[in-house]
A and B are shown apart, each in its own frame.
Chain A
Amino acid sequence: MEQEKKLTEQESLHLITMMINKAKESYHDTGIGAIMWGAVIAICSLVRLSEVQFDYKLPFDIYLLTLVAIIPQIFISIKEKKERKVKSYDDAYMDYLWLGFGISIFLLIHISNNIFGEWGSWANEYRNITGKPVIFRFSEYVAPLFLMLYGMPTFVTGAACKFKPMLWGGIFCWICCIIAIYTSIKIDLLLTAASAILAWLVPGIIMEKEYRSYKKEQAQLNV
């Protein structure tokens, strides 16, 4: 591009539009984080489902895998930030949105564990006094709460980044949330796994493919 070339008004307008579009095209998420979290949540839900279905128990809580996954996530985030040559205005909002989501998830785990503990002792007492079984199962209402939370940042990210697979993934989480209110714990776990796959794993794979082809294009342009 020549530095001092004078432009006609039409050329100026065309150049502005072209450059704004070029800037927009340069935001490409690697999708690795979404792939990892989609896979982790789906694995956790399916393993828990197999524990319930085949009546066995692993020596550890499978959901601890979500805590372990935080470590690679930190490395992924640092690496992606280092590689990024441009910072968009949306970057900071997205970071806060997903950080807020993470904090909300851990708060919800803490809240539900507390309710579960209290509810368990109350249910035991009820059973001992009345001799009747407790019909209400608190555990069957935990999945809809998580699915409701899963849908929120996924939907917002999909809408803000104009990335339809994630937008639909967020909506799918909310549909599963409604269904999970009326289904057994086994179906709840299946719905959670399906949500994780459709909201994060699949969009993550699409993002990763797009990122690869963008990188390839850039490499060809620089030859």
Chain B
Amino acid sequence: MKKLMEGSEAMAEAAIAAGCRFFAGYPMTPFTELLEHFARRMPEVGGVCINAESELEAVGMAWGALATGARAATGSTGQGLSLMQESFSEITLAELPLVIFNMARGQQDYYQSTRGGGHGDYRHIVLAPADLAEAIELTQLAFHLADTWRNPVLVYGDYLTAHIQEAVEVDPLELGPVADKDWALDGSLGGTGRSRIISPLGFAKTGRRSPGIEQHLRTMTDKSRQIEAAEVRVEVGHVDDAQTVIVAFGTPGKFVRYVVNQLRADGERIGFVRPITLWPYPTDAVAAAAEGARTVGVFELCAGQMIDDVRLSVLGRAPVVGIGGISTDGSGFGVGPLLDAEIIRDRILALHRGETMPPLPDNERLEV
């Protein structure tokens, strides 16, 4: 049965439906409500939610919970995730299936999510839902993919994902089997000569074959290549004969899809590409859409980050132009006036017709 829920609640319920039984986090807008829902719900389902004293400690606690084989998650806004980056790097190298929620302030964390703010060559699978139904699906998929690949997965939401209310249903998805966690620790093998170690450094216990750090890092790189080949997800619309292609992800991707559908109905030859996975990036889909197009526009709520990946996909087939920009409310946490169907329509049409791009709308600042 459908129930009116805010996004944070829907995502917490989806995580619990996926078997997540440990969560640790530190309050920060607009992530706070996700933590609140986990804090209320985890004890009811036999899980644990710790209101950690810092983001550094939250991610460390999740690390420990994962080592026991539990499905575990943490999260924050991009600012809080900056503090967790060292652990993200190491958890990835330790091959632990962490799920991370970024309830981001706009889309300023694209680089952080897809390039990794931490050290080393690691990659995280990044899932970017456009609406709550998709957020529920992708949250469950995140735990499945994390276990499948023994690699962290980040769910990229925002202020609207966290706070918007929709009538939705959280049904557990049947996503297929995952391998037994024969690496998980329970303490039972102490003194048997078969005890286990979970290490980011490629260490094995004395007497076992150890890959060594160099081979371990190469194996992790090979895994990244396999994920790139297997896990790309993308939504594409009206690109076959499109003269103009617009690329956008997450909540702005939903707005762009709506506007492009309208413009198509008006007879404009415009299409869209909405990456659902930000890593691995839907390079082939963007390249195919750009083939034959006159121009590719990138609408993102930041100074221009994903545009790099669009250019790396298009590889000169067409000019790539940023048509988004920085737009926030007065607090810097929420939604600015740029996220508006009429304004987005004007910007897409300006690009399509080769007209001057309208200036970015300013938020109405309250005089104090």
A, B: real partners: no
A residues sitting closer than 8 Å to B (CB atoms) are: none
